[in-house]
Amino acid sequence: MCLSILVGGELVRLPRYAELFSNEIKVDNLLLGNGFSRNFSENFSYGNLMDKCEGLKWNEEQLFEKLQTSNFEEVLKIIHNTKMVNEVYGIRYDEYDYAYENIKKSLINAVKKVHIEPSDMEGLNIRVGSKNLLGKTNRDIFTTNYDLILYWLLNEANNNHRRLGDMFRKDRGYLYFDEHNNRKFQSNLFYLHGALHLYVEDGITKKISSREQNKDLREIITQRIDHGQIPLFISEGSGSEKYEAIMQNEYLKQGYNTLREASGELTIVGHRLNEDSDQHIIDAINDSKIEKIYYGVHGERVPHDIEENLTKKVEYFNSENFLLDFAE
């Protein structure tokens, strides 16, 4: 199946991904955006969790706007520190406690609202295709999504063959980021903007595992949020703001630098690469040793600025049935 779309004002036919290769279908490096998760549920059609937050009071919304951020951890930390300063000066203001708890509650409800359950993926061909895709990726996998879809798929893929890593190890009683824990894996998964199951404690980036407590991972995450442990995810608006936040965390910096140092080919699926919000990703790709990009198009038109912003050779394909190509 081919898709007819407009490229530079001309009508062209785009092949499916599998048709780009004369022999076996292959993936070198892989970059997945929000469009990948939307294959599983339209619940993921949002910019960030702030877009799905309900129940915030007007002054709490004003706090996010005044600070020019959608970073929950930053806002909660400021409320906490402000309360401590006021306590030193004998100033009591109960609204701080209310705001702190209400913002946490709104975040918990947003996570519950947008995220599907693992059982929602059962029986889907795209689930089979996704696992096969991860297994056939020869180098590294990058994503700007912070949902749990790839976490579940990675665990399932590794049940068949232990070849996919994520830079976390466990020898201290918990899972923590270790920059040297990549040598035994053929491919590593990097959450470039963090993820719901990642958090920072005492300066160490840690990972929550549902296997440890035999509970639903979403339940563990919302319980941790309720106790003040906010997930590590970058939700700042512009690419430059995201880059600055990434550089403040060793795990995120490792993922970003790995993309910037990547070589070979890069397949991009479900990612708009918007120059306003994703310029840092564009810069990393342009700085890399990537020689060729396969860019998936879903819709009727190739984004006009893809080749303008990328300095690499780009070949387009119809990504509408991308995951099904790997399920066959």
* Same domain (yes/no): 31, 54: no
Query: Which tens digits make up the pLDDT trace of 167-181?
Result: 999 888 889 999 887
Beta-bridged to residue 177, according to DSSP, are 168
Question: What is the separation of C-alpha 180 from the centre of its chain, rounded to a whole number of angstroms?
Answer: 22
Q: How far is CA 146 from CA 49, 58, 234, in A?
A: 10, 27, 9
Which of left, alpha, beta for 188 (phi over 0: left; psi -120 to 50: alpha)? beta
Q: Which residue type does 10 have?
A: E
* Same domain (yes/no): 161, 57: no
Query: Which tens digits make up the pLDDT trace of 29-40?
Result: 999 998 999 888
Is 69 within 8 Å of 305 (Cβ atoms)?
no
Helix-helix angle 58-66:72-88, to 10 degrees: 100
Residue where one domain finishes, among candidates 98, 114, 130: 114
Q: Does the pLDDT of residue 162 top 60, yes or no?
A: no
Put the strands of the sheet holding 175-177 in their side by side order.
168-170, 175-177, 204-207, 198-201
Q: Which domain holds residue 284?
A: 3-41+120-167+186-192+237-327
Is 5 within 8 Å of 14 (Cβ atoms)?
yes
Domain-located, residue 231: no
pTM, entire model:
0.85
* Same domain (yes/no): 139, 243: yes
* Same domain (yes/no): 73, 35: no
* Same domain (yes/no): 241, 314: yes
* Same domain (yes/no): 77, 150: no
Lowest-confidence segment of 99-103, 130-134, 296-300 by average pLDDT: 296-300
Supply φ then ψ for residue 194, to 5 degrees: 85, -175
Domain-located, residue 58: yes
Domain-located, residue 308: yes
Residue where one domain finishes, among candidates 92, 114, 136: 114
Q: Does the pLDDT of residue 233 top 60, yes or no?
A: yes
* Same domain (yes/no): 86, 100: yes
